[in-house]
């Protein structure tokens, strides 16, 4: 079996692989790029696995005039930049059991060991420079069948890193076969070990949830998270029921994780996912909009297109009432509208009186569908 694609054949990728291969090292694209090329999904970035030690990778790259940054040296990862493209190059590793709980790592020269410490069989696939797939664990049929299975025993792998529970739902949403649903053994292990999520950093949880909610249709995976009790550990008080309706109403709109997050509800979401200040205020504005009755046009004017779309669709998903027929045109009309009266149009007023009058005119303008002209408002 061979994979192909611009991500593999372009000069930057081939140059970086040759850099390591020339002195006799193995250098193999691994993980997401191979998986996605196999199933026909777009390849975002190329991760490379090698038997060369990190200092060797840095030395070879710099000798060739390439930038090499030790981005995750503790895990054996060096980022090499070629032609402006970053490649994460990670030395083969094996898990070393320390005190029976956390897996420490050691470098390895064996690809089988490197594959065995990865999370899912479809992520433990490698490719040669010519595209030939190397499949140490039998992950190839799983990838082609869109079957997400843990490498080895699911409970053992989860106990090593509880983030793998969330990765299980993320990859199920993106690459699982929707007709088959999540792998039963993996699902049972996630349900049994859901408590372990409480010990994860909020940053790691937030990063996974954003990726999960950005999937074309995250609703079945989120429903499975709710059914297994995982969702309650991630977002206390969340309710997954409106999400499939929202995704349906979205139609061809580009997926937005924040819009999906807004219909899940729950308390303390911004802290639970360590959202940035801008993300938290976006979420807050959308939730406030869901609870009020502003028109699509008024929302477009006040909140901009993205938030207005989120509010209109979330309201419909949560209430079960379809959005108004012309809501898209109305949002766009509102976003493009300008309130026609300026302070200079009210020369007799100043200070708080001026502010109050402008507010009153603005309310009248909004109530009349953002259609009144300056002359009508001042009359």
Hunting for tokens 């109403």 — which residue is that? 249
Residue whose tokens read 């909004």: 366
Interface residues with Mg ion (CB under 5 A)? 32
CB under 6 A: which stretch of 116-124, 282-290, 331-339, 361-369 binds ligand ATP?
116-124
- Contact between 80 and 89 under an 8 Å Cβ cutoff? The reply is yes
- Closest approach, Cβ 377 to ligand ATP, in A, equals 52
Helix (H) or strand (E) holding 12: helix 11-21
Q: Which is nearer to Mg ion, 151 or 193 (CB)?
A: 151
Least distance to ligand ATP, CB of residue 130, Å:
21
Which residue in the set 51, 95, 119, 135 belongs to the binding site for ligand ATP (CB under 6 A)?
119
Residue 164 makes contact with ligand ATP by CB under 6 A: yes
366's enclosing H/E stretch is: helix 351-367
What 3 state SS string does 293-335 have?
Answer: CCCHHHHHHHHCHHHHHHHHHHHHHHHCCCCCCCHHHHHHHHH
State the nearest-atom distance from the C-beta of 268 to ligand ATP, in Å.
25
For residues 236 and 254, what is the distance between their CA atoms, to the nearest angstrom? 27
CB of 194 to Mg ion, least distance (A): 25
Q: Which does 123 bind (CB under 5 to 8 A by kind): Mg ion, ligand ATP, none?
A: ligand ATP
**3 state DSSP class of 54:** helix
Of 123, 294, 295, 303, the one binding ligand ATP (CB under 6 A) is: 123
Q: Which residue among 20, 140, 163, 221 contacts ligand ATP (CB under 6 A)?
A: 163
- Is residue 32 at the binding interface for ligand ATP, with CB under 6 A as the rule? yes
Distance, CA of 213 to CA of 197 (rounded, Å): 18
Residue 161 interacting with ligand ATP (CB under 6 A): yes
Rounded CA-CA distance 219/207 in Å is: 18
List 13, 16, 29, 31, residue binding ligand ATP (CB under 6 A): 31
Closest to 118 in 3D by CA, of 94, 148, 91: 94
Segment lying near ligand ATP (by CB under 6 A), choices 118-126, 138-146, 216-224, 276-284: 118-126
Binding mask 47-86 for ligand ATP (x = CB under 6 A): x---------------------------------------
Backbone angles phi, psi at 283, to 5 degrees: -60, -45
State the residue for tokens 């909610």. 213
Which of 161/362 has CB closer to ligand ATP? 161
Structure token pair of residue 244:
């499939």
Contact positions vs ligand ATP (CB under 6 A)? 31-32, 44, 47, 118-119, 123-124, 161, 163-164
């Amino acid at each position: 079996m061979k994979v192909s694609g611009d991500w593999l054949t372009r000069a930057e990728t081939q140059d970086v692989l040759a850099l390591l291969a020339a002195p006799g090292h193995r250098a193999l694209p691994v993980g997401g790029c191979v998986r996605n090329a196999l199933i026909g999904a777009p390849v975002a970035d190329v991760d490379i696995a090698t038997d060369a030690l990190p200092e060797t990778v840095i030395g070879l790259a710099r000798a060739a005039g390439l930038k090499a940054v030790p981005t995750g040296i503790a895990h054996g990862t060096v980022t090499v930049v070629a032609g402006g493209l970053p490649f994460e190059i990670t030395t083969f590793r094996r898990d070393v059991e320390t005190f029976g709980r956390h897996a420490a790592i050691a470098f390895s020269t064996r690809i089988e060991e490197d594959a065995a410490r990865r999370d899912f069989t479809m992520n433990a696939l490698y490719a040669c420079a010519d595209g030939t797939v190397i499949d140490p664990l039998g992950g190839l049929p799983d990838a082609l069948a869109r079957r997400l299975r843990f490498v080895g025993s699911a409970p053992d792998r989860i106990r090593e890193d509880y983030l793998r529970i969330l990765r299980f739902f993320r990859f199920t949403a993106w690459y699982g076969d929707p007709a088959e649903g999540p792998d039963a053994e993996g699902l049972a292990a996630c349900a049994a070990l859901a408590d372990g999520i409480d010990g994860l950093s909020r940053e790691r949880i937030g990063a996974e949830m954003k990726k999960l909610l950005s999937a074309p249709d995250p609703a079945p995976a989120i429903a499975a998270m709710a059914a297994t009790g995982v969702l309650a550990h991630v977002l206390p008080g969340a309710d997954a029921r409106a999400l499939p309706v929202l995704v349906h109403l979205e139609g061809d709109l580009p997926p937005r994780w924040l819009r999906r997050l807004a219909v899940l509800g729950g308390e303390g979401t911004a802290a639970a996912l360590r959202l940035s200040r801008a993300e938290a205020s976006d979420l807050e504005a959308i939730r406030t909009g869901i609870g009020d009755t502003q028109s699509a046009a008024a929302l477009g004017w006040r909140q901009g297109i993205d938030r207005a779309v989120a509010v209109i669709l979330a309201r419909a998903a949560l209430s079960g009432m379809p959005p108004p027929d012309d809501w898209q045109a109305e949002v766009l009309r509102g976003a493009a509208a300008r309130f026609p009266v300026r302070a200079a149009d009210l020369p007799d007023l100043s200070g708080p009186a001026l502010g109050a009058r402008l507010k009153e005119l603005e309310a009248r303008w909004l109530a009349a569908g953002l259609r009144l002209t300056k002359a009508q408002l001042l009359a």
